[in-house]
Amino acid sequence: MKIFNLLVGGDPANLPENWQELDGEWVGVDRGALRLVNEQLKGSLAIGDFDSVSEAEFAKVAAGFDRVVKLNPIKDDTDTEAALAKVLNIDDHAQVRILGVSGGRIDHLLANVLMVLEARFRRFAEQITLIDRQNRITFFNSGKHTIKKEAGFKYLSFIPLTPIDALTLDDEKYQLHNHMVPNARAYVSNEFIGSTATVYLSNGLIAVIQSKD
């Protein structure tokens, strides 16, 4: 299965340890492309309006990637949305990891979390993971899903992004059974009992966050 790693331009201090060693194909998004070049990581695609880099830095990006897509800064999509659409057009079965989403502007963070609600991305939600040093965010549409515990991550939070008629968490430390969720809200600081946990939702979309202090 193909894996794309999208590196966007968030605070590098929030990137996971040893992120450079992740398997998969690298895509640089705006200033994230410059970071890949500086780390001497070969990327297949750089995309963005590149308004956060100088002309000299953009020249460095252009020389370091097989393909560069420079977007008009006056656009409807964020750079990350444009990058996600591009890689899913290349392979709509690919797993997509997005790194560098946190540690900066909160509006950018929220845009990156909420973009899975867009009709064009909704069906791919379960293929998308947001990753930083302290968090792993995955998404699930309706159905029963098994979540594998990430080593070193203590907390397990469930964030319904839509109303859900029946939400069940029956093998976590704190349980819910056929619980109706009328609007988006956060059920935080739950915990695994074993190495896996199960979530069932009758409808809607939920974000699942594994996190650590």
In this predicted structure, the answer to whether residue 105 has a pLDDT above a threshold of 90 is no
In this predicted structure, the answer to whether residue 77 has a pLDDT above a threshold of 90 is yes
pLDDT at site 9: 87
Same domain, 109 and 141: no
CATH number at residue 181: 3.40.50.10240
Domain end (from 74, 97, 132): 132
Cα gap 200→151, rounded to integer Å: 23
When the pLDDT of each residue in the chain is averaged and rounded to a whole number, the result is: 95
Domain end (from 132, 152, 187): 132
Residue type for position 84: L
pTM for this one?
0.94
| Count of domains for the chain | 2
Tokens standing for 53? 């880099």
For the chain, give the percent of residues with pLDDT over 90: 90
Same domain, 12 and 116: yes
- Domain holding 15, by residue range, is 1-132
pLDDT at site 108: 86
**pLDDT digits 0-9 by tens, 177-194:** 999 999 999 999 999 999
Give the C-alpha distances (Å, rounded to integers) separating 33 from 28, 39, 65, 69: 4, 10, 9, 11
Residue type for position 178: N
pLDDT at site 48: 95
Cα gap 100→98, rounded to integer Å: 7
In this predicted structure, the answer to whether residue 104 has a pLDDT above a threshold of 80 is no
pLDDT at site 5: 98
Same domain, 126 and 175: no
In this predicted structure, the answer to whether residue 167 has a pLDDT above a threshold of 90 is yes
Same domain, 9 and 95: yes
Q: How far does Cα 189 stand from its chain's mean position?
A: 20
In this predicted structure, the answer to whether residue 175 has a pLDDT above a threshold of 80 is yes
Same domain, 113 and 186: no
In this predicted structure, the answer to whether residue 165 has a pLDDT above a threshold of 90 is yes
Domain end (from 105, 132, 159): 132
pLDDT at site 102: 84
pLDDT at site 173: 98
